[in-house]
Structure formats: structure tokens, C-alpha cells
Amino acid sequence: MDKNDKELSLQAAKYTLSLNPAFGPRGRDVLGSARMVLQHVLRQPAHSARHMAAFGVELTNILLDRSALKPAAGDKRFDDPTWQHNPFYRRYMKAYLAWSRELNDWISSSNLCEQDAARGQFVIDLLAGALAPTNTPANPAALKRFFETGGRSALKGASHLVKDLIENGGMPSQVDKSAFEVGRNLGTTEGAVVFRNEWLELIQYTPRTEQVLERPLLVVPPQINKFYLFDLAPQKSLIRYLLDSGVQVFAVSWRNPGKAQREWGLSSYVEALKEAVDAVLAITGSADLNTFGACSGGSTMSSLLGHYAALGETKVNAFTLGVSMLDIRPDTQVSLFADEKTLEEVKRRSYQAGVLEGRELAKVFAWMRPNDLIWNYWVNNYLLGNEPPAFDVLYWNNDTTNLPAALHGEFIEMYQTNPLARAGALEVCGTPIDLGQVTSDFYCMAGLTDHITPWDTCYRSMHLFGGQGEFVLSNSGHIQSILNPPDNPKARFMTGSSLPEEAQAWLESSSEHSGSWWGHWQSWLQARSGKGKKAPGKLGNKAYPAAEASPGTYVHRR
């Protein structure tokens, strides 16, 4: 992987969005906000004229080469030295920056209400990103590439564009999918399917040590993603890392639902998990187990724990939440368009279709981060004529799954009413859920730069439980927090000796550590995994015989 491919891959991994389980803005909402902005331009002529005049003054300074404008820190679009050293390109770049700045200043100083201003800002950001001079054939890097290749880069770019129009819904491809195959170079840790029901396959992994810890771990992934994020490549596999430390690992692989499964709801998934838990306990002979749930898988797992607490069941000894938001008070960009009418229509449309298609959701969310998830690939694939990068995280991110309509509707209702934060507000499998009655030890991990499940929201969520908790903050984003192997030289994480009510108070008193949180969690988990015993000689047992080799069959369903 060359430097350009690596940069593209890291940016996309940072902003990958597939773990978000519910909804995105509709096209009509964005167009409505655009009309609203135009109307206010006309309704505030003096305000608009002032900003046009300021833009004219700045253009004069740019033409005279007296402007001090420069790209924002971290904006890599103008990294090519031509943008700085060539007089024409320097003025072209600064004129664009001046125009973009005045648009943003117009919105921030207008008399729009707070929500309209935020929606207008979103539309202006989309417009400014799309019209960036780096997205045109005049991009100096594209021109250099054209002459270096004798025009072949333009032909390849046109070929990529036609292929994406036909095969990728008109979106620039983020990854070279031909470089990967699940079961060949992704999800390769040895194991077998030992239980299957309509909703999931349960995979038991082959021990990699002579002695194993007696209490097993069950990994619960989000329903909107394929489970092999936790077993991506051998050097990034969290599952393999745990096996090497003597933990017995089982993982859930959710079935990809179709229209016929539109009625699958949260209770359906919790009942399926209960069967998986019973299978794990029967195979290992343990009286209880530990669990690990990530993102919306953490919400499902927490619902199971609340259900067990209501029944007086003690099948879960300790649990871990990874980048999981339970106490939901929406304050993200997505919530700009999440009014009641919009959410009701989203639920109705998904029920009519039977599912919320993961591919369509991924497309919508790509437009939430267009510079990182669209326009850099536009430049790379079409203007430079390069192949999209071969990067395992991006392959996984594009290997989308659907949500059944019933579960999708329940996720939206959880977004609207925040029931997990209120005892008895949610009913699952016939029992009211009160997370305060869940008294198991737990470990909560969040990402400092996570924009999908913000770390302070994850911190707030852990206070819903009644057990003894530990909170750890990784220095990464949503996906990179999970994929954080010990050999990552940039990895850092923070721990705290107490859990004050406010997240900021915790952060101010926390201690920073070099390395990955994996090792810290491993020690915590091992202390709660019981004594050592001889590793089993085979997978499954008589009641739950080993069947297909991991990663199983459900992971391949489209």
C-alpha cells in the first residue's frame, strides 16, 4: 500500500459510519434546508450585502496577493505544493476559501433560529465541499498525473466512473473488493459453528493455549454489521488476541435479514441470544459467562442483562461495553433532521420495504462526511485514475447488512424516548428493563474522537448500571478504538480511579497510558474468567456438535 492509499484508508477508517444503526437525513430535508437558506438571503438583503462586500474586499486582496487566508489545519486537499507556489493556483485556492468563509459567516451571524442555522450550516458545508477546486480536472495533481501517464489516467478515471455508476449506485468506490474474501484473508481464526437458530450462528473458536480459563466470553456484534470486525486480519484480531491469553471465545454471527424477516424486533434478538448463552454454558460446563457487546450490539446485550435481572437469572458474570450509547440524548449532526414527522416516515418506509438496507444507509451517511468519504475518492479514482485502496476495514465497512423493519423502528423509538435510561420504560421478552438491577461487574470502553457514539455519552450510559464499573477512554475514533492491537505505536488510553457523575470531571482526573487498551481489558477480563483448566480437545459437544468451519454461513448472506 503506497502513501496515498494509506492516507485514504486511514481517513475513511476514522470516519467509517456503518455502526450507526438507525437513520440519516432524507434528500427532501436537505433540499428544504437549501430553499430555506436561499429565502433568508432574500429576506435579509442588508445582511447579505455586507457579506458580499466583505467577499469583494477579500477578493481584491487575493488578486493583489495580500491575503493571509490559508487552509484549516488538517485540511489535506491543498497539500500539493502547486497550490502555494503557483500564483494562479494560490489565488484560485484563496478565492475558494474566501467564498467558503463568507458563506459560513453569513449563516453564523444571521437571524436564523438555532436549528435552522445548524441545518443551513450542513447544507453550506455540502455545497462548499462539492465545489472545492480540488474536485475539478484543474487539480494540479490530476494534471501532473495526466501528463505523466500520457492521458491514461483520464481513461482509467472514466472507466472507474462508469463502473461505479453501474455497480456502486454512482458513489465512488472506497475499497478494492477483489483483494479480500471472508474466510480466505478475513475472519480466518480457526473455529466452527456449534449452534444455529433463525437469527444467529454461534461460533466457538479453537483454543490456542494448552490451558484455558473456565469461564467463556461471548462476543455480541451490532446487527447492522458483519461480526468479523472482531476477527479482521490475524494481526488485528481481537478474538485471536483473547484466545492467545487463554480466554474461551464464542462469537455471534447475525443473519442478514430480508423482507420476510420484517417482524424481527428487539425481543426476537434477545430470545435468540438467550439460546446462544445456554449453548455456550452447555458446551463449556460453566455456570455463567462473560459478554462483550459493541455499539448497537451493546444495546441488545444490555437488554438481555436487564431481562435476566428481571427473571433473577445469574448467567452473566461480567460484561463489557464497547463504544455503546445507552443514555441517548441526541446532539449529533444526524439529529438536525430527526423531527417526529421525519422519524415516523422513516419507520413507515422501512416497514413497507421490510428492511432498512445497509447499503442505502451507508450511502446517506457518506454524505454526512463528504470530504472524507466521497470527494477524496472522487479525486483518487476519477481524477488521478488510481485504483481504490485495498484496506480490510473499508472492505468490512462496505460489506453491509440490513436491519429488519421492526428492529429498525424500535431503535428509532429508543432514540426518541431514551427508555434504557428509565427503569421500566422498555419491555423485552415480557419483562420490564431496569439496568439499575444489573449488578455484575462491567468494563466500558469509548473513543475520544468518536463522533457516532461520543465518549461522554458512553460515560453517562455506564451510570445506568448497578454494578461495579471501570471506564477506559481510547485516543481513537469509533472503529479504530476497537481495532487497536498492542503493536499500534500511536495507541493511548486513559483510566480513572473514580467515576464522578460528570464525564469532564472524570477526564480531568484521569491518567494516560501508552499502548492499547486491549492489555488493560485482558487483565480485567482474566481476573473474572475463573481458574485454568485443560483446553478442550474438540469443539462443541454431543448436544451442540461442531458444523461448518468459521466464519460460518450467515456471514456470506447478502
Q: Which long-range contacts (CB under 8 A, 24 or more apart) does 154-162 make?
A: 154/385, 155/385, 156/385, 156/386, 157/381, 157/382, 157/383, 157/384, 157/385, 158/382, 160/381, 160/382, 160/385, 161/381, 161/382
Q: Which residues contact 191 (CB under 8 A, 6 or more apart)?
A: 203, 204, 205, 206, 539, 549, 550
| Domain end among 108, 131, 154 | 131
Domains in the chain: how many in total? Answer: 2
The amino acid present at 313, given as its one-letter code, is E
pLDDT of residue 19: 43
The amino acid present at 549, given as its one-letter code, is A
Does residue 210 form part of some domain?
yes
123 and 203 housed in the same domain: no
446 and 532 housed in the same domain: yes
Cell numbers of 284, please?
463449556
**Beta strands 426-428 and 469-474, pairing class:** unpaired
426 and 505 housed in the same domain: yes
Which residues form the domain of 33?
A: 20-131
| Three-class HEC string of 342-393 | HHHHHHHHHHHHCEECHHHHHHHHHCCCHHHHHHHHHHHHHHCCCCCCCCHH
Unique residue bearing C-alpha cell 455508476: 165
Length of the chain: 558
Angle in degrees, CA 554, 201, 239, rounded to 5: 95
Q: Tens-digit pLDDT profile for the chain (558 aa)?
A: 555 555 555 555 555 544 444 555 555 666 666 676 677 666 777 877 888 899 999 999 999 999 999 999 888 999 999 999 999 999 999 999 999 999 888 888 887 777 777 777 888 888 899 999 999 999 999 999 999 999 999 999 999 999 999 998 889 999 999 999 999 999 999 999 999 999 999 999 999 999 999 999 999 999 988 999 999 999 999 999 999 999 999 999 999 999 999 999 999 999 999 999 999 999 999 999 999 999 989 999 999 999 999 999 999 999 999 999 999 876 554 555 556 666 777 778 888 889 888 877 777 777 777 888 889 999 999 999 999 999 999 899 889 899 999 999 998 888 888 999 999 999 999 999 999 999 999 999 999 988 888 899 999 999 999 999 999 999 988 888 998 999 888 899 999 999 999 999 999 999 999 999 999 999 999 999 999 999 999 999 999 999 999 999 999 987
Cα gap 33→194, rounded to integer Å: 51
Cell numbers of 440, please?
455484575
Q: What is the pLDDT of residues 182-227, one digit of tens each?
A: 999 999 999 999 999 999 999 999 999 999 999 999 999 999 889 9
pLDDT of residue 369: 77
Does residue 203 form part of some domain?
yes
126 and 238 housed in the same domain: no
Does residue 160 form part of some domain?
no
| 551 cis-preceded (ω within 30 degrees of 0) | yes
The answer to whether the Cα torsion of 493, 496, 499, 501 is positive or negative is negative
pLDDT of residue 15: 52
**Rounded to whole angstroms, what are the CA distances from 78 to 8, 12, 75, 103?**
15, 18, 7, 20
Does residue 242 form part of some domain?
yes
Cα gap 342→465, rounded to integer Å: 32
124 and 197 housed in the same domain: no
Cell numbers of 109, please?
451571524
Does residue 386 form part of some domain?
no
305 and 440 housed in the same domain: yes
Q: What is the CATH number of the domain that holds 320?
A: 3.40.50.1820
Q: Which residues contact 500 (CB under 8 A, 6 or more apart)?
A: 506, 509
| Domain end among 99, 115, 131 | 131
Does residue 348 form part of some domain?
no
| Domain end among 114, 131, 148 | 131
Cα gap 410→415, rounded to integer Å: 9
208 and 283 housed in the same domain: yes
For residue 302, give the nearest of 328, 317, 279, 324 by alpha carbon: 324
229 and 121 housed in the same domain: no
Which amino acids are annotated catalytic? 295
Does residue 391 form part of some domain?
no
Cα gap 349→87, rounded to integer Å: 52
**Beta strands 217-220 and 403-404, pairing class:** unpaired
Residue 53 CB neighbour total at 10 angstroms: 11
Does residue 384 form part of some domain?
no
102 and 200 housed in the same domain: no
pLDDT of residue 558: 72
Q: Which long-range contacts (CB under 8 A, 24 or more apart) does 491-499 make?
A: 491/515, 491/516, 491/517, 493/517, 493/520, 494/448, 495/470, 495/471, 495/520, 496/471, 499/462, 499/463, 499/469, 499/471
User: Do 226 and 18 contact (CB within 8 A), yes or no?
Assistant: no
**Beta strands 316-322 and 403-404, pairing class:** unpaired
Q: Output DSSP code: residue 261.
A: G
**Beta strands 200-205 and 191-196, pairing class:** antiparallel
**Rounded to whole angstroms, what are the CA distances from 166 to 162, 163, 222, 356, 428?**
6, 5, 30, 22, 43
313 and 443 housed in the same domain: yes
Give the bridge partners for 540, in sequence order. Answer: 545
408 and 543 housed in the same domain: yes
116 and 243 housed in the same domain: no
pLDDT of residue 113: 75
For residue 398, give the nearest of 1, 16, 15 by alpha carbon: 16
